[in-house]
Amino acid sequence: MRRKYIYLFSAIIAASIMITGCSKADTELSENSAIHLYDLEQTPDHLGIDTNNTSESSSQYEPLNYTPQYGMWFTVNDYPDILMTSTEEEFSASIEERFDNAADSGINTIYVHVRAFGDAYYKSELFSKGLYTPADMDFDPLEIMVEAAHERKLSIHAWINPLRCQSDVQMKDMDSSFTLKKWYEDNEKCGTYLSLVDNRWWLCPAYPEVRELIAEGAAEIVRNYQVDGIHIDDYFYPTKDSSFDEKAFTESGENNLTEFRMEQCSLMVQEIYSAVKGENPDVLFGISPQGTLHGNDSQYADVKRWCSEEGFCDYIVPQIYFGLKNETAPFADMVSIWKNLVTNPDTELVIGIAAYKLGQEDIYAGSGSGEWLSDPAVISKETELALKLDLGVSLYSYSAIFESAENIADNMSDELARVKKLLQDNPTGSDNITTDLQY
């Protein structure tokens, strides 16, 4: 009951912020590119959406969620193969096989990509159809995924990228009925609400209307689908270049760009959280930021605040995509840092693990660059360490594990068996941890 009062209070605050206007793909851009990961350096009237059209089944749905959370990411990069040229029956079969594999491995929570580039892999009034969907698609991918997940007792979280949009070519092809295209065609909003970075458009969170669109986008999913959570990852400010939000910063009257941007990101996160809770207080909202504090600072993500204060997130999954012997950011040290950061008792810490690195050289790891090549058990060792600390874990990603390269297939299969044993033997935390794994 206490949490529901907190959610209501947060929603009131967020609504006040909206009213006052407080100032305070492409597959080549994969979800975890090396450059990106290792930078160690309520419904508003203007959107035209009916806020009273709340689905009874959605609003009364009791979400399926687990503690600890054992998660796995399913990325948009899979859709060209399993969705783009598939019939409904073929897509359903692919999803059922994937979810069977995840559930059989001890996974209890899946994050499925439903909006990666300002597009939607579900029925949306706010965003255009997903880039990797059949041209004549007459079925709903998210509806199929929700049903398949729940049949297997999997908690399903809809994963969105709030700020990242499409390339310039793709924006030109977008239907003019969508808000993003209207802003793109508006001489005042194109270059402010939307900014171009390396030939890709990004939303700027410094504008209340932008944050409203993002928050309502999350609410739309919770309103219309029986998802168990909304999940965002580490695509916040895409650049340190001051031109990205120069007009908004100048008009704000603030004099510290870093503080200004961190506040805008925090406002965005708060408003997503409040929008989700406004639809269903029991649906979770989670964030997966970068694994290092410096990496988050470079994106103006105030993770220290989000981990310690109410009204930001129910769980946080830092991408601690480093080996145990990483010279700059060793896994155990980073886990300890995050464990100390999460002081809000209502926020669960889940450790993100880089399953995709098995069999690869880690060129940013210094003296530990060969660890993922020489040690075929890094994934299970890191999983065991997290479980011993009563933390959840999440693996990136499904395709990296179940569609691994032929040269590491045997090692990955062995690792999966070890991880499965750890997760299935320890459904409620560290009390049942076994240490008899053979490495």
Position 362 confidence tier, pLDDT thresholds 50, 70, 90: very high
pLDDT for the residue numbered 10: 45
76-130 tens-digit pLDDT: 999 999 999 999 999 999 999 999 999 999 999 999 999 999 999 999 999 999 9
Is the pLDDT assigned to residue 260 strictly greater than 80?
Answer: yes
227-253 tens-digit pLDDT: 999 999 999 999 999 999 999 999 999
Is the pLDDT assigned to residue 1 strictly greater than 90?
Answer: no
134-160 tens-digit pLDDT: 989 999 999 999 999 999 999 999 999
pTM: 0.87
pLDDT for the residue numbered 57: 53
What does the alpha-carbon distance between residue 110 and residue 69 come to, in Å, rounded to a whole number? 10
Phi-psi region of 139 (alpha: psi -120 to 50; beta: other; left: phi over 0): beta
Is the pLDDT assigned to residue 34 strictly greater than 60?
Answer: no
Is the pLDDT assigned to residue 358 strictly greater than 50?
Answer: yes
| Class for the domain spanning 2-431 | alpha beta
Query: Buried b vs exposed e over 61-88: b needs ≥16 C-beta within 10 Å?
Result: bebbbbebbbbbbbbbbbbeebbeebee
Domain ranges of the chain: 2-431
Is the pLDDT assigned to residue 29 strictly greater than 90?
Answer: no
